[in-house]
Amino acid sequence: MTDNDATRSADDCYKGRAAVLKGSYSEPYLIESRTIAGDVGPLDVLVHIYYSGVCHGDLHSRDGGPPAPSQPLRPLVGGHEGVGVVVELGIAAGEVSNIKVGDVAGLGWRHSSCGKCRLCLEGNENSCADQVVNGLQTDGTFREYLVAPAQHVLRIPDGLDPASAAPILCGGGATVAALRRGEVSVGKWAAISGTAGGLGHLAIQYAKAMGANVVTIDGPEPEKREFCLNLSADSYVDFTNGDVALEVLKVSSGGVHTTHIMNSHPSSYFNAFAYSRPRGNVVALAPAKLDFHTGLLFMRGISLHAQTNGRRIDMLDALEIAAAGKVRVVTEVLKLDEVNVALDRIKMAQVKGRLVLSIS
């Protein structure tokens, strides 16, 4: 990918289109012209965005609900999975990043973090209390030009398709982080609950790349079964057909070591508690309201974890694994003008893989 179109206009600015939220929650995106004027900050980079993934988290920016604030931040450009070409660097950006002008680069969920707290210094900047989120707390990647801190802009590996790279910057990094949280490793059994969507189809492949045996759990549709098995899942369990826990116990030779839940249905958790091996891990990647007795976990020492976004190292590793050909991101590319259509389809669970917007 090269960039021959990104030049400052006669009035010394970059102009491009953006998807902007202006009203209350549930009001649609509007497509407007947005301008980047003046010099790039000393530690910042200017990226000409070509593609941006559309994530379930983007629904909260438009329609509300945690982690979105109770009162919407408006106006706001959404998006947090952007890939493009670096067109300008701040004068000190080289002190915090190896990014260069002309590099294909991307940015994900995190716009910035404090860099000073214990969590940041330990490399767990994804848990920084002062992190700022793209497309939720500051303008995100549904725009042609974006200025961001160089420290949180990642170089995309050579040979990785930019449209495929975009969803990895949030979904891929979060999935790798969650699999590591669940201690996935060679020979272990991993269950993925809710597998035909964006996170689930990535989780299947990253778990296989880590050497795990993968049980996928989703609905009765034949196309979902075929989709998951074509991604190298070892088995598929239809959650509408009989006793889910019993079936998972059967196909996994006595239970799984770790479960990763990509949906918000409480039954997914109760089933996971039942089919987990002793001292197993259950990792949540989707919010859910649960009412259960902790005795379900105590007797067999099951641990319940939550994972939202990945660390920088998780994102970099996710990109490298995909660039090595071990993960195939299933994408459908739509136009920027179709951003509301994309979000509505995600809301109605009408997507296999990931939706990506063509921005430029």
DSSP string, 153-204: -EEPPTT--HHHHHHIIIIIHHHHHHHHHTT--TT-EEEEES-SSHHHHHHH
Task: For 173-220, write each residue's pLDDT tens digit.
Answer: 999 999 999 999 999 999 999 998 889 999 999 999 999 999 999 999
Q: Is 323 part of any domain?
A: no
Q: What is the rounded CA–CA span in Å between residue 292 and residue 353? A: 31
**Do 235 and 142 belong to one domain?**
no
Q: Per the domain annotation, does 316 fall within a domain?
A: no
The answer to whether residue 280 sits within a structural domain is yes
**Residues 33, 148: one domain?**
yes
Mean residue pLDDT of the chain comes to: 95
Decide if pLDDT at 7 tops 70.
Answer: no
Structure tokens at 142: 């549904």
Q: Is residue 8 part of a domain?
A: no
Are residues 150 and 26 part of one domain? yes
* Residue 38: band (very low, low, confident or very high) from pLDDT cuts 50, 70, 90: confident
Q: Which helix (H) or strand (E) holds 270?
A: helix 266-275
pLDDT by residue (tens digit) across 72-124?
999 999 999 999 999 999 999 999 999 999 999 999 999 999 999 999 999 99
In a domain, 293, yes or no: yes
Q: Is residue 312 one of the residues assigned to a domain?
A: no
Number of domains in the chain: 2
Residue 6 confidence class, pLDDT cut points 50, 70, 90: low
Mean pLDDT score, 55-69: 91
Is residue 82 included in any domain, yes or no? yes
Domain co-membership, 89 together with 134: yes
Claim to verify: residue 134 and residue 202 sit in the same structural domain = no
pLDDT 10s digits, 125-182 = 999 999 999 999 999 999 999 999 999 999 999 999 999 999 999 999 999 999 999 9
What CATH number is attached to the domain comprising 234? 3.40.50.720
- The CATH number covering residue 23 comes to 3.90.180.10
- The reply to whether 148 and 227 lie within a common domain is no
298/265 same-domain check = yes
- Same domain for 271 and 340, yes or no, is no
Same domain, 77 and 133: yes
**pTM over 0.85, yes/no:** yes
Answer yes or no: do 79 and 109 share one domain: yes
Same domain, 300 and 347: no
Of the candidates 146, 14, 13, 177, the residue with the CA atom closest to the CA atom of residue 80:
146
Percent of the chain with pLDDT over 70: 97
Domain that holds residue 222: 174-306
Q: Are 78 and 184 members of one domain?
A: no
Tell me, what amino acid is at 279?
Answer: R
- Listed residue (234, 225, 296, 228) closest to 266, CA to CA: 296
